[in-house]
Copies of this chain bind each other. A is one copy, B any other.
Amino acid sequence: MTGERVQMGIMGLDKMLSGGLIQGSISVLIGTYGTGKTTFALQFLWQGLQSGENVIYISLEEREERIYLYMKQKGWDVEKYRNKALTVLRLDPSDFNISISSIKNELPLLTRQLKATRVVIDPISLFEDLFDSDAVRRQEMFRLIDRFRSEQCTILLTSETDRNNPYASRHSLIEYLADTVILLRYVRPSDLSDVHLALEVVKMRMSPHSREIKPYEIMTDQVHVYTEANVF
């Protein structure tokens, strides 16, 4: 980690991160369904593609075609990057289980071979689900992250929220391991008029960052973070 910044390509958010994610760091987006985790992650990769970088999207759930569809639907011309600068890879978590140790070696290798500088794993919580005990999960997750960290690329993970605590991920683990934690959540005002989306940067190792809670909206082609506005 050299301290250099990697822009996510989401205007207000890059500003809240004091310029972007730190190169070589590992970050996690935590949010419930419908908060736009995948949209944020795709924007992060698209920004890399625009800057001539090689990027990898590892999907633990959706098939490759769906991922391409999501990007096209945003009006992005992904075809020219497909299987060149852009690699989309679907891992079935059940096969993942069998090949768990080889993947810990192969994925970092792949990243090196493809000279990828941005990698997304969406959602990491499906990988975490594979472990039976909290202790084994923590150890394996730490090793995976440790292995990835030796690469020269910036990694963005997504995670579902804990069922009962909007500030914790599904296993209350990845937020402790990651360098940066961005929290996405719903806020329902007491008059129940509508639902707001709100974002905060909860943690960012080795960097100052904004502690503000900011509203955002998911548009057809991009995410808008309203850094000049307040949630209420």
Contact = CB atoms under 8 A, between A and B. Distances in A.
Contacts of A219: 208
What is the interface of chain A mostly: helix, strand, loop, or mixed? loop
A167 B186 CA distance: 11
Contacts of A205: 70
A218 interface: yes
Interface in A30-86: 32-34, 61, 63, 69-70, 73
A73 B139 contact: no
B200 A195 contact: yes
A210 B3 CA distance: 37
Contact of A94 (B139, B162, B176): B139
A172 B163 contact: yes
Nearest to A1: B69
B206 A198 contact: no
Contact of A129 (B135, B163, B172): B135
Given A192-B230, A211-B197, A138 B126 contact: yes
A168 B32 CA distance: 10
A3 B73 contact: yes
Interface of A: 1, 3, 32-34, 61, 63, 69-70, 73, 93-94, 126, 129-130, 134-135, 138-139, 142, 146, 160, 162-165, 167-168, 172, 175-177, 181, 186-188, 191-198, 200, 202-208, 210-213, 218-220, 230-232
10 contacts: A33-B176, A129-B134, A129-B135, A129-B138, A130-B135, A164-B164, A186-B202, A192-B230, A208-B218, A208-B220
